[in-house]
Amino acid sequence: MKKGIEYKKVETIFSYASTLQQSGKLRNTVYCLKNRIYILNQDHTVLLRFLLHGGNYFEHPVCFEANDYDSPVFEMKEDQICFITKRDGYERRKSCQLPQQHPIKIAKLFKVFGD
- The pLDDT score that the predictor gives to residue 72 is 83
Whether 57 shows a pLDDT value over 90: the answer reads no
**Closest by Cα among 2, 4, 18 to 83:** 18
Please, which pLDDT band fits residue 88 given cuts at 50, 70 and 90? Answer: very high
Please, which pLDDT band fits residue 65 given cuts at 50, 70 and 90? Answer: very high
**Closest by Cα among 3, 78, 88, 69 to 31:** 69
Distance CA 73, CA 80 (A): 14
* Residue 73, in any domain of the structure: no
Q: What is the pLDDT of residues 39-52, one digit of tens each?
A: 988 877 778 899 99
* Residue 104, in any domain of the structure: yes
* Residue 88, in any domain of the structure: no
What is the domain extent for residue 33? 7-67+100-112
pTM summary value: 0.85
Q: Is the pLDDT higher at 99 or at 3?
A: 99
* Residue 54, in any domain of the structure: yes
* Residue 59, in any domain of the structure: yes
* Residue 19, in any domain of the structure: yes
Q: Average pLDDT of the chain?
A: 85
Distance CA 56, CA 2 (A): 6
- The pLDDT score that the predictor gives to residue 115 is 54
* Residue 92, in any domain of the structure: no
* Residue 80, in any domain of the structure: no
Query: Into how many domains does the chain fold?
Result: 1
